[in-house]
Structure 1
Amino acid sequence: MLAVAVPTIRADLGLTTASAAWVMSGYVLGYAGFTLLGGRAADLLGRRRMFLTWLGVFLVFSMLGGFAINGWVLVVARFVTGVAAAFMTPAAMSIITTSYPEGPQRDQALLVFAGVGAGGFSLGLVIGGLLTELGWRWVFFAPVFLAGAILLAALRLLPAEPRPEPAPRGHDLFGAASAAAAMLLLAYGIVRLEHRGEGLGLTLGALAAGMALVAAFTVIERRAKAPLVRLGIFRRAAMVRADVGALLFVGAFFGFQFVVTLYLQELRGWSSLRTAIALLSMGCDVVLAPALTPRLVNRYGNSRVVFGGFLLAIVAYGLFLPVDRDWSYAAMFPSLIIAGTAFALAYGPLTIAATDSVTEEEHGLASGLLYTFTQFGSAVGISTVTAVYGIAALGGDGSPDAVLDAYRTSLVVPVVMVLLGAAVSALGLRNGARRTARHEAAAPVTRDGADDGSPGHGRRRPTPNP
């Protein structure tokens, strides 16, 4: 919701361009920096407890942002709400994955969960445009009322859980500190790519320090008696593919959305409300994710549906590459509707694959890893298209045609990201086919050769005695 409100906030509070950018980046920094820790906290300290506690924190600091009278209060509020989301979202997802047995029921629940999230991405733009017309502070106050309603409902509907047993080997405090510091520095370095002219040395230094802390974290986890992250979880190839695929897909989606928003508002002069309504067609995932995606997953499997989503995304972003100054909405519509359809197909199945076959004790960790990759994806997508746009714009003369050329150049970034994602997801197709072949080869047969799902490993069922 905040994406279309930033220009109004900047004008009202008299913020510099850099300060206004940190209103968006602060949330990403908090979210990406603490999601891994938040996911593990849900496993160790209780999923319901983490969800309720951090939902309350989210509510309080969202209200603080609505009352902010200067930029630094707004950035702090956004950072803390990002941290709250980092603890709250993996807890919510792991509540779902532990409430349903592995199989069709859990897949259906996760597809609904992902569909609601996908709808939030798209409808947030429209709602943000409407609320900004009333006053930008409502962009902060509206989540307060929504979070309050969810908090009351959760207190009543979420079943109580036993208090977690104290960790017999203690908690991995050094691992937690190094993980949080590493994620914060990496996220900071990535979002700084948007802030050109503030010093390349600091950006590279943050990224280098973050990578060094990742290495330190790995050493700590190998030696810890009770590691925050069991490194063996990264041997699950399907989970790693899903996490990397989510990073690339979400990064491309948000990068594309960001460039289109700039094109419509800055080059075409459209209002925030008109821009939000124009992008509403990308919200088709609200309908498609719960209605179409489950049927496709049941029929073709996660891997094929994810791959189809990437292919559609390639088409969507590729169609927008030749964008012109006087394009009609009809010319833009195919890209927008196909992009929304691609999101509906890929996002939910990626969520399933990221937690599939993970033990219940590590569902919070798997969820935290997924959302860590997702948040880094959004940061990478937006920061990279912004940096590419800035470099391309520097080579122009500032005319509308030069600005348009810079937009076209930056649109190459989401195309490259979904091409890479399609290559990653194609590996899942090959491995999935092998698993299917092995399953069919080992399946028991009835008298007519059909798989009856019973143990027997190829033995024929005896003829019943008449």
Structure 2
Amino acid sequence: MTSSQTRPPDAVPVTRAPTVVRDLNWTPAVWLLLVAVCGALFLDGLDTSIIGVALPSIGHSLHLGASSLQWIVSGYVLGFAGLLLLGGRTADLVNRRNVFLAAVTVYGVASIVSAGLSDQFAIIALRFVKGVAAAFTVPAGLSILTTTFAEGRPRNRAFGIYTLCSASGYSLGLVIGGLLTEVGWRATLLLPGPVALVFVAIGWKVIPRAGAARVRLAQFDLGGALTATGSLLVLVYAVVEAPARGWASVPTIGLLAVSAASMAAFTVIELRHDHPLVRLGILRSPTLVHANLAGFALSGGFVAFQFTATLYVQDALGWSPIGTALAFLPAGVVVILVAPRLGPVIERLGTKAGILAGLVCCAAGYALFLRTTPSMPYAEFLLPTMLLFGIGFSLAFASLNVQATAGVADHEQGLASGLLNTSLQAGAVVVLAVTSAVLNAPATPARGQLLPGMKNAVDVIVGVLAGASLLTAAYLSSRRGRATPADNAIVSPEH
């Protein structure tokens, strides 16, 4: 409704959020804006965990093996990782309100449609579409917050709520996924849809409108986005199919070569494009590169572990979906309780030491899982892993976010943050693909091992985290005595 139109006397005025919120006395419109933006992020966190618990049930219903099931997770993450930087660029160039609302709408519709499908390829395709939608939703939502809330306490408070919604989305997704899977696995695909459309309706009312920007197609690095996504997609496909085709077979080597060629093409495009997705010069920052490598390992390790452990406890031990969800819940609870209070700890330790401590905790937790036998009670074989992961993830993730953006010019803060998020998603895709390949490889169960290849898969996960820990230790040692902006960064407790 425009200002030139009149409202009937009994009409309820449309709630509008102010252009910039400069204090902590928030109106209902501000809180509704947070509900819409943070709610969309909550769904992004929920999506991975809610589907993870349902994977064994989906596998039984559709007769899918581990290699097919991993694509249901990877399809979403591939779309997210491959187009996140393009999503950020689009949010900057185009009306961020329209980008956000359109992306959340696509996400919701894709969720509803996928719930009625039985063809694995169609389900995976729509999971990819949802990941693409999330790649546009997250940077657009973040941009809405940064332009709505003034720097200082209002923005810190809003970001604290934003971060908490991400962590709680993942944690509650485990329980919600377990409950819904008891009803039927299709419910896990359906639930995010109607909820997303509710957030769209709220956002339509309260997200501030902005004038349409004049943009040219040349400002969008579509070639870079397609080559980066294609490289990752082909790499994952090559790794997943390698056990059946052979690691040294012509098809596997050919696919790996195509992936490498696509990444080389991406590099050339970024060097020549007037508006590249990634200014490659930013990668000269060792702190940024280290943060991205550590984030790759941190995210990849947990997504792969959850995949492996879920198949083990449900398929091998016969646990129910809700039992599985509750078994993983302590990790999310620890993250929610610990993460908001880590500011003083990281300020004292420095970001590199925080990353190292977090990676070591995660590696130790996964290594403890290698002791498992079918007769072990939960408190001995899985609970210690969940608690160590919760502590380790909180330490490492908070430190990564500070280190990745410290010392970066203001106009490239969004790029640095986008690179870190891309690395987190890419790690989930690649490490999960390798783990799935190990699980899918022909193997004879070891004595007392009910899921063939499980311990080999966990060995891979421990190796990834151990390697990242050693890299961080070496980097910390090489930089000792040389303070960097990341080491001296102050972390707000609300982050």
Structures share a fold, TM > 0.5? yes
Whether 1:241 and 2:290 are equivalent positions in the alignment is: yes
Could you say which residue in structure 1 is the equivalent of 2:228?
A: 182
Equivalent residues of 2:297, 2:468 under 8 A apart: yes
Cα distance in 1 between the residues matched to 2:389 and 2:245: 35
Cα drift, residue 132 of structure 1: 0.8
Cα drift, residue 164 of structure 1: 3.6
Cα distance in 2 between the residues matched to 1:110 and 1:438: 20
Cα drift, residue 386 of structure 1: 2.4
1:272-298 deviation digits (Å, cap 9, x = unpaired): 221111111122234224432234234
Equivalent residues of 1:171, 1:228 under 8 A apart: no
Cα drift, residue 129 of structure 1: 1.1
Whether 1:337 and 2:387 are equivalent positions in the alignment is: yes
Cα drift, residue 251 of structure 1: 0.8
Q: 1:248 to 1:110 in 2, by over 3 A?
A: farther
Larger radius of gyration: 1
Cα drift, residue 247 of structure 1: 0.5
Bigger Cα displacement from structure 2, 353-362 vs 210-219:
353-362
Equivalent residues of 2:403, 2:486 under 8 A apart: no
SS in structure 1 opposite 2:179? helix
Could you say which residue in structure 2 is the equivalent of 1:374?
A: 424
Could you say which residue in structure 1 is the equivalent of 2:326?
A: 277
Whether 1:417 and 2:464 are equivalent positions in the alignment is: yes
Cα distance in 1 between the residues matched to 2:486 and 2:369: 42
Could you say which residue in structure 1 is the equivalent of 2:402?
A: 352
Cα distance in 2 between the residues matched to 1:313 and 1:267: 24
Cα drift, residue 131 of structure 1: 0.7
Cα distance in 1 between the residues matched to 2:189 and 2:440: 30
Whether 1:57 and 2:113 are equivalent positions in the alignment is: no
Whether 1:148 and 2:148 are equivalent positions in the alignment is: no
Q: 1:357 to 1:322 in 2, by over 3 A?
A: same
Equivalent residues of 1:254, 1:378 under 8 A apart: yes
Cα drift, residue 213 of structure 1: 2.0
Cα distance in 2 between the residues matched to 1:425 and 1:93: 29
Equivalent residues of 2:224, 2:266 under 8 A apart: yes
1:389-409 deviation digits (Å, cap 9, x = unpaired): 344xx342x476355673222
Could you say which residue in structure 2 is the equivalent of 1:166?
A: 215
Cα distance in 1 between the residues matched to 2:212 and 2:409: 19
Alpha carbon RMSD of aligned pairs, Å?
Answer: 3.2
Cα drift, residue 34 of structure 1: 1.8
SS in structure 2 opposite 1:227? coil
Equivalent residues of 2:238, 2:255 under 8 A apart: no
Q: 1:202 to 1:154 in 2, by over 3 A?
A: farther
Whether 1:305 and 2:351 are equivalent positions in the alignment is: no
Cα drift, residue 350 of structure 1: 1.5
Equivalent residues of 1:189, 1:204 under 8 A apart: no
Could you say which residue in structure 1 is the equivalent of 2:15?
A: none
Could you say which residue in structure 2 is the equivalent of 1:462?
A: none
Q: 1:362 to 1:52 in 2, by over 3 A?
A: farther
Q: 2:87 aligns with which of 33, 38, 51?
A: 38
Cα distance in 2 between the residues matched to 1:161 and 1:241: 37
Cα drift, residue 99 of structure 1: 6.0
Q: 1:315 aligns with which of 348, 364, 367?
A: 364
Equivalent residues of 1:186, 1:207 under 8 A apart: no
Cα distance in 2 between the residues matched to 1:439 and 1:130: 43
Equivalent residues of 2:270, 2:277 under 8 A apart: yes
Bigger Cα displacement from structure 2, 320-329 vs 141-150:
141-150
Which one-letter code corresponds to 1:176 in the other structure?
Answer: L
Q: How many residues end up aligned between the 2 structures?
A: 434
Cα distance in 1 between the residues matched to 2:268 and 2:52: 39
Equivalent residues of 1:190, 1:207 under 8 A apart: no
Where do residues 183-222 of structure 1 align in structure 2 (5 Å cutoff)? 183-195=229-241, 199-200=245-246, 201-222=250-271
Whether 1:24 and 2:73 are equivalent positions in the alignment is: yes
Cα distance in 2 between the residues matched to 1:124 and 1:57: 20
Q: 1:148 to 1:199 in 2, by over 3 A?
A: same
Cα drift, residue 302 of structure 1: 3.1
Q: Percent identity?
A: 35
Which one-letter code corresponds to 1:376 in the other structure?
Answer: A
Which one-letter code corresponds to 1:187 in the other structure?
Answer: L
Cα drift, residue 58 of structure 1: 0.6
Equivalent residues of 1:119, 1:285 under 8 A apart: no
Cα drift, residue 162 of structure 1: 4.8
1:191-246 deviation digits (Å, cap 9, x = unpaired): 55334555354444333222212212222222233333222222233222211111
Equivalent residues of 2:236, 2:433 under 8 A apart: yes
Q: 1:438 to 1:128 in 2, by over 3 A?
A: closer
Equivalent residues of 2:335, 2:391 under 8 A apart: no
Where do residues 85-100 of structure 1 align in structure 2 (5 Å cutoff)? 85-96=134-145
Cα distance in 2 between the residues matched to 1:20 and 1:109: 36
Which one-letter code corresponds to 1:177 in the other structure?
Answer: G
| TM-score calculated relative to the size of structure 1 | 0.81
SS in structure 1 opposite 2:397? helix
Q: 1:91 to 1:306 in 2, by over 3 A?
A: farther
Bigger Cα displacement from structure 2, 196-205 vs 246-255:
196-205
Cα distance in 2 between the residues matched to 1:166 and 1:423: 46
Could you say which residue in structure 2 is the equivalent of 1:434?
A: 482
Q: Where does structure 2 lack aligned partners over 5 or more consecutive residues?
A: 1-49, 489-495
Cα drift, residue 63 of structure 1: 1.0
Cα drift, residue 31 of structure 1: 2.1
Bigger Cα displacement from structure 2, 87-96 vs 252-261:
87-96
| TM-score calculated relative to the size of structure 2 | 0.77
Cα distance in 2 between the residues matched to 1:111 and 1:306: 20
Which one-letter code corresponds to 1:417 in the other structure?
Answer: V
Which one-letter code corresponds to 2:483 in the other structure?
Answer: R
Cα distance in 1 between the residues matched to 2:438 and 2:487: 47
